[in-house]
Amino acid sequence: MKIGIINVTGYAGVELARLLHQHPQVELASVTGRSAAGQSLSEVFPHLAGIDLTIKAELGDVELAFVAMPHKESVKEVIPLLDKGVKVVDISADFRLKDAPQYQRWYGFSHPAPQLLKEAAYGLPELHRAEIASAQLVANPGCYPTGAILALAPAVKAKLIKADVVIDSKSGLSGAGRTLTLPTHYSEANEDVSAYALEGHRHLPEITQELNLLNPQPSLSVTFVPHLVPMTRGILTTAYAPLASGKKGLEELKKLYQDFYKDAPFVRVADSPPHTKQTWGSNMCLVYPTVDQRTGWLVVISAIDNLVKGAAGQAIQNMNLMLGLPETMGLEALPVYP
Known catalytic residues are: 143
CA distance 90 to 86: 12
Q: Specify the amino acid at residue 167.
A: I
Calculate the alpha carbon distances from 204 to 84, 207, 229, 244 in Å: 33, 5, 20, 23
CA distance 332 to 29: 22
CA distance 5 to 14: 9
Number of H helices, E strands in the chain: 11, 14
Give the residues across from 288 on adjacent strands: 301
141 upstream amide cis, omega within 30 of 0? no
CA-nearest of 87, 40, 81 to 60 is: 81
Phi, psi values for residue 325, rounded to 5°: -95, 160
Q: Specify the amino acid at residue 56.
A: K
Sort 181 into a burial class: Cβ within 10 Å, 0-12 / 13-18 / 19+: exposed
CA dihedral sign, ordered 277, 283, 289, 295: positive
CA dihedral sign, ordered 249, 252, 256, 262: positive
CA distance 131 to 119: 10
